[in-house]
Chain A
Amino acid sequence: MLKYDLVVIGGGPAGMAAALKAKECGVDKILILERASSLGGILEQCIHTGFGLHHFGEELSGPEYAYRFIKQVEETDIEVKVDTMVTDILTGNIVVATNNKEGMLEIHATAIILAMGCRERPRGALDIPGSRASGIMTAGTAQKYVNIYGYMPGKKIVILGSGDIGLIMARRMTLEGAKVETVCELMPYSGGLTRNIVQCLDDMGIPLRLSCTVIKTHGIERLEGVTIADVDENRRPIPGTEQYIECDTLMLSVGLIPENELTRNAGVMIDPITNGAIVDENRQTNRPGIFACGNVLQVHDLVDYVTQESYTAGEGAAKYIKSKNKNKRTKYVSVRPEGGVRYVVPQNINCDTSEDVKLYFRVKDVYRGGKITVTSGDKVIYSKKKPKLAPGEMEYVIVKAEDIRALDKKEIIVKVEV
């Protein structure tokens, strides 16, 4: 059986950053397994700029951001197997993978980092009545067609969902000569970044219809049109507001789901809100030696944060690999969201943490002039006014290690006060 100190599953920005950090921390034998034919992950198809402002201080496109990490990986002795799909993780941290050249591989790993990214919510998850006409696809699939294969999937387009990928594709299709009729968003606000609404929709003269959804698709072989309708506060279509729009393509940008089949099979506990693993501040899951980072852990909107989080996981895994007593379990302080906060990552913090901890979270609604607080019992350990909080933008607060170590109650709560 092959043996490695660290096996990283997924060679996107998360996997590469985690492997690089672990290497920097002195881990010897590292292997990255990637099912695609090259490293880079989803960034390869995200050709627009806006990546790396935090991490590199310049605005790069997705492939440029990935390229910098690919080059760094190539400069180390980190081993990479592409076209290799991980199919299972067995007890004792054995990774099962397959590829065409070597067939089935069983790899023993002292530590494993899960970095499989996320996928888009497909049409089936939505339940729109209508036939199975061609021309209905996720925005990410369309992005791949246009940006990788140079193929235009349609000419007259309706986009359902105002997530960032949908917004980016609205501009992309318009630049390539298609007509984007409208972007419909079920919620009363957009899930995308403001900058994308301005530069992808306003710039291109594409209307954004809030509180609106597609209720029916038309066409048998090929999509011919969709019926849209406004929705009430319970997100139910309002009778009488139906409108038919002719189009040959419907793109769905209705959210991303972490790709956690492997994680579940490995017996890792999943947070029902993030759909990612429950982790501590080192990004270690409940299974000793198994770590998770990037979009497989929580859906990020900025790749820069993916890189940061993955450095944390890489460092955590390195510490674990070098530790003498791997089964030692310290007590956790649990971190809970409350009120307007939807989720917080990490969900647990070691009581004896020696480093300050960044808590990443998302809110449930748009709040103006709110205050973020972190409390434990009656004690306030962090409080800061925020002029604007929105579900589309991930936020973080930093809690001090000494504050965590001094807690009587082994629980802290993150909430928005308005």
Chain B
Amino acid sequence: MIKEMTCVACPLGCQLTVELNDKNEVLSVTGNTCKRGEQYAHDECTNPVRMLTTTIKVNGGSLPVIPVKTSAPIPKGKMFDCMKVINSEVVDAPIKMGEVLISNICDTGVDIVATNEM
């Protein structure tokens, strides 16, 4: 299988062409200008991860929501599952910067932490 993607490891944004076998293993990467592009293609094809940022509802705060992020990148495929969990929660003010609001979300081993105080 052939996959097209844009490398975002630097602003150059090379167009990569990745050749994969049936087991989703990378056979070749072309179009990259430097080695980092190859690494990027491998990561993106085998285990793409993303930081998730969103808000969570607050009880008794000065505003109805507080911004949060994942404490580390999570698998890209789990973003919407995590959103469901986050949107079903309500946390109580006061909240400190960096406070863990949901731990080990969707068994990722990653926490949801506050990115502001309220």
Taking the nearest CB of chain B, how far is it from the CB of A162, in angstroms? 14
* Among A142-150, A331-339, A401-409, the stretch in contact with B: A142-150
Taking the nearest CB of chain A, how far is it from the CB of B42, in angstroms? 16
A199-B50, A388-B13 known; A194+B33 contact, CB < 8 A: no
Q: Using a CB-CB cutoff of 8 Å, which residues 33-84 of chain B contact chain A?
A: 33, 50-55, 57, 63-65, 67, 69, 76, 79-80, 83
Question: Do B115 and A193 touch across chains, with their CB atoms under 8 A apart?
Answer: no
Q: Using a CB-CB cutoff of 8 Å, which residues 131-176 of chain A contact chain B?
A: 146-151, 172, 175-176
Question: Do A49 and B8 touch across chains, with their CB atoms under 8 A apart?
Answer: no
Indicate whether A197 reaches chain B with its CB closer than 8 angstroms: yes
A-B contact count (CB 8 A): 75
Tell which of B6, B57, B65, B117 touches A202, judged by Cβ atoms closer than 8 Å.
B6
B50 proximity list for chain A (CB < 8 A): 199, 203
Question: Do A194 and B6 touch across chains, with their CB atoms under 8 A apart?
Answer: yes
Indicate whether B97 reaches chain A with its CB closer than 8 angstroms: yes
Question: Do A64 and B97 touch across chains, with their CB atoms under 8 A apart?
Answer: yes
A63-B67, A147-B67 known; A49+B11 contact, CB < 8 A: no
Question: Do A49 and B6 touch across chains, with their CB atoms under 8 A apart?
Answer: no
Tell which of B5, B51, B76, B115 touches A63, judged by Cβ atoms closer than 8 Å.
B115
Interchain CA distance A195-B40 in the complex, whole Å? 13
10 pairs across A/B with beta carbons < 8 Å?
A47-B54, A47-B69, A61-B67, A61-B69, A64-B115, A148-B63, A149-B64, A175-B80, A194-B6, A195-B8
Taking the nearest CB of chain A, how far is it from the CB of B105, in angstroms? 14
A198-B8, A387-B12 known; A61+B53 contact, CB < 8 A: yes
A60 proximity list for chain B (CB < 8 A): 115
Question: Do A146 and B55 touch across chains, with their CB atoms under 8 A apart?
Answer: yes
Taking the nearest CB of chain B, how far is it from the CB of A220, in angstroms? 30
Question: Do A175 and B115 touch across chains, with their CB atoms under 8 A apart?
Answer: no
A47-B54, A194-B8, A199-B50 known; A61+B13 contact, CB < 8 A: no
Indicate whether B116 reaches chain A with its CB closer than 8 angstroms: yes
Interchain CA distance A18-B33 in the complex, whole Å? 39
Taking the nearest CB of chain A, how far is it from the CB of B11, in angstroms? 6
Size of A's binding interface in residues, CB under 8 A: 32
B79 proximity list for chain A (CB < 8 A): 175
For A60, the closest partner residue in chain B by CB is B115
Binding site for A on B (CB under 8 A): 5-6, 8, 11-13, 33, 50-55, 57, 63-65, 67, 69, 76, 79-80, 83, 87, 97, 115-117
Interchain CA distance A195-B116 in the complex, whole Å? 25
Binding site for B on A (CB under 8 A): 44, 47-49, 59-61, 63-64, 67, 146-151, 172, 175-177, 193-195, 197-199, 202-203, 387-388, 390, 393
Taking the nearest CB of chain A, how far is it from the CB of B95, in angstroms? 12
Interchain CA distance A59-B79 in the complex, whole Å? 19
A390 proximity list for chain B (CB < 8 A): 11
Interchain CA distance A307-B64 in the complex, whole Å? 30
Interchain CA distance A175-B55 in the complex, whole Å? 11
Interchain CA distance A193-B10 in the complex, whole Å? 11
For B86, the closest partner residue in chain A by CB is A175
B11 proximity list for chain A (CB < 8 A): 193-195, 388, 390, 393
Interchain CA distance A151-B83 in the complex, whole Å? 16
Of the listed residues A149, A175, A390, the one surrounded by the most CB atoms of chain B closer than 10 A to its CB is A175
Question: Do A61 and B115 touch across chains, with their CB atoms under 8 A apart?
Answer: yes
A64 proximity list for chain B (CB < 8 A): 97, 115-116
A146-B55, A175-B54 known; A47+B67 contact, CB < 8 A: yes
For B67, the closest partner residue in chain A by CB is A47
Interchain CA distance A20-B55 in the complex, whole Å? 30
Interchain CA distance A67-B97 in the complex, whole Å? 9
